[in-house]
Amino acid sequence: MSTSVNTLLSRADTDSVTTLTLNHPPANTLTPELLVELEGAFAALARDATVKAVVLTGAGRFFVAGAEIRVLAGIASSKDGMEMALRGQAILSRIEALEKPVIAAINGACLGGGLELALCCHIRIAAESARLGLPEITLGIMPGFGGTQRLPRILGRSKATELILTGDLISAQEAKALGLVSQVVPDADLLRQVQGLARRIASKGQMAVRTALRAIHQGEATGLSEGLALEARLFGGLCESEDKKEGLTAFLEKRQPRFKDR
């Protein structure tokens, strides 16, 4: 295993899984500096062919408690506010577009910009003690890093609107019932279970993983018929891959496949 630490973000690599840990005590708030480090880390992960899956988590009792209040308080013009929102949206959209699975291990409070960060991850798994919500409305503002767009697409318009307009927080168990997270696990087991899931995905043929992620991500921006056409094109492309031949041959020979990611 190799480990590296930036000022606010640490990276640990085990086999083909990278774990990024937000480390900005006490609450891992999304400062401009932390956003810059996130942007750089994911740009590096996109270029690193040895990385096949990414786990994103927080240090301490928080995943991310939201944006830095002092930074928000210092914004006094609509121009500066829009620029901040566009900057955050662009970074989170690049994370969402990564063609390697990004799994949020939500270890604690996941609020405001923290939930918006989790929403751009491909899979979300929460610790039993986690609390989630978009409380911006209680500060006289609204979500600005994609929360008003991603949350309704995940929960449906009615419940998402309720949560955004009340600022209410929900438990991990309620988040699972709503489909906001896919699993809730004991706090002490969270990272082990999420890293295990990441390794399971990393063991698959990466051409298929990348292509499936592309179909899901690009298909969300289209209508059903366009999405189905995209799926058919991408499926057809995989039918010419070495991994497809190896996967089917291994199945017929009753052995584990040895994918070469091509």
Catalytic (active-site) positions: 116, 136
Backbone angles phi, psi at 82, to 5 degrees: -65, -40
Question: Where are the extended beta strands (E) located within 65-108?
Answer: 102-106
How far is 197 from 105, CA to CA, in rounded Å? Answer: 11
CB 12, CB 22: distance < 8 Å = no
Backbone angles phi, psi at 11, to 5 degrees: -130, 130
Quick one: DSSP state of residue 255?
S
Quick one: DSSP state of residue 7?
S
What tokens appear for 176 in the block?
């699972």
3-state secondary structure of 18: strand
Quote the crossing angle between the two packed helices 242-252 and 206-220, to the nearest 10°.
120
How far is 237 from 244, CA to CA, in rounded Å? Answer: 10
213 CB contacts (<8 Å, ≥6 apart)? 98, 99, 100, 101, 122
**How would you list the strands of the sheet with 53-58, edge to edge?**
2-5, 9-14, 17-22, 53-58, 102-106, 123-127, 183-185
How far is 137 from 148, CA to CA, in rounded Å? Answer: 12
